[in-house]
Structure 1
Amino acid sequence: MLRFFLWCFKKLANKWVVTYRWEMIAIFIVFAITGSVAGKLAGPFTELIGLKKDTVAGWIYWTARIVLIFPIYQVLLVCFGWLFGQFKFFWSFEKKMLKRMGLGFLIP
């Protein structure tokens, strides 16, 4: 298992230009925290717009919640990246991802 993780580190180190291994670990931590927090925040936002699990069909609720996770995740990714000292990496990652999704017009 350790050999697999070291292989993954080496592959990603070639793809993501980082100077130190701790930067790679910080990037993984940011991805983990951002995903968890975005998933948690989507529930209250869904209720805020009036979609409660008990009052609407399940497919509407879960579709809306998943759609809400996307913008929350994008904002939090850059914010947590900044907190962990990796703003430059996550800002370029964000721009590249939005361009690939056809949403490059959102980037100033």
Structure 2
Amino acid sequence: MFKQLKEKWEVESNLQLILIFIVFSISGSGALLVRKLVFHLVDYTPDWPFWLTAIVYILTIVPAYQIMLMIFGTLFGQFTFFWKFEKKLLRRFGIKLDD
């Protein structure tokens, strides 16, 4: 399974793969902390309608997670991998960046 991931992601070593997993996990945990802070700041209550909760959640989690991927990816020496990852994601949203 790890061999397939390494080939798909064009990762050369097990250490690089481990660092990528660490960045994904730290970024995910960090985005949830940001969400908690933002929901506190906007005085969220469970009485909010689902559509409003979903909009605030998406506008909070998605950018926070992407920013944290780039920050932690850079700190862990994996900027190139995460920059390619971000460009691929942005292309799916119809945003093209020059290569």
* Residue aligning to 1:4: none
Which of residues 31, 35, 48 in structure 2 aligns to 1:57? 48
TM-score, length basis structure 2: 0.84
Q: How many residues align?
A: 97
Contact 1:30/1:84 (<8 A) preserved: yes
Q: Distance in 2 between matches of 1:90 and 1:24?
A: 12
Alignment correspondent of 1:5: none
- Write the distance in 2 (CA, Å) between the matches of 1:62 and 1:69: 10
Gaps of 5+ in 1: 1-7
1:43-95 deviations in Å (ceiling 9; x for gaps): 212333x24226x5152235412331000011100000001110111011101
Point out which structure has higher relative CO (alpha carbons under 8 A, 6+ apart): 2
- Aligned residue in 2 for 1:31: 24
One of 59, 71, 76 as aligned partner of 1:79: 71
TM-score (normalizing by structure 1): 0.78
**Aligned partners of 2:34 and 2:60 also within 8 Å:** no
What percentage of residue pairs aligned between the two structures are identical? 41
User: Using the alignment, how far apart are the partners of 2:58 and 2:32 within structure 1?
Assistant: 8
Is the CA contact 2:24–2:69 (under 8 Å) kept in the aligned structure 1?
A: yes
Q: 1:101 to 1:28 in 2, by over 3 A?
A: same
